[in-house]
Amino acid sequence: MRLSLTAAALALVAAPAFAQDAPTGDAAAGEKVFNKCQTCHMVVNEAGEVLAGKAGKTGPNLYGLPGRTAGTYPDFKYGDSIVALGATGFAWNEADFVTYVADPAKFLQDKLGDKKAKSKMTFKLPKEEDARNVWAYIASLSPAPATN
C-alpha cells in the first residue's frame, strides 16, 4: 500500500512537467485563424501532402515547427536575425511562438539582445488566444518533437 501511495504522489508531482509540452490552445479554432497565416505559410508533410495552406511560400513550411531550431527549415532563405537565433540553439515552443507572432521584430531584438535585429515576418497576430490556437493547430498536424 505504501509503495503505490508513493508512486501516486510522484505521478501527481511529475504531471505538470509533462502537461507543459501539450498545446494549451484549441486546434479547431486555430485552423480558422490559420487562414490569416496561409497567405505566406503552408503545412506540408515529408510525403509532400499539403495539410494546411494553399500556395503560401513567402514563409517557411510550418510542418514540424514544435521543437524545430529557429531558421533551419531546409531550402528556405531566412533573414539573418532568425538564423542568428537558431545558431544559439533556440527551438520553437508554444510560449515563444505566441510572443514571436505578436511582434516578430521585437521578439528577435529581445532574444538576441540586439536592437537592430529584424524579421522578414511583418504580419502580427497580437491576440494571445489566437496565437495559442494556431500553435495547437500546427502541433496537431506535426509529428511529436524529438526529445533529447
Give this prediction's pTM. Answer: 0.81
**52-56 long-range contacts, Cβ below 8 Å, gap at least 24?**
52/137, 52/138, 52/141
Q: How far apart are CA 79 and CA 103, in angstroms?
A: 15
Answer yes or no: are the C-beta atoms of 98 and 135 closer than 8 Å: yes
Q: What digits encode the pLDDT tens for the residues 33-73?
A: 999 999 999 999 998 999 999 877 899 999 999 999 999 99
Per domain, the residue ranges of the chain are: 27-141
Domain 27-141 -> CATH class: mainly alpha
105-147: per-residue pLDDT in tens? 999 999 999 999 999 999 999 999 999 999 999 999 998 765 5
C-alpha cell at 10: 510522484
Provide the 10 A C-beta neighbour count for residue 22: 9
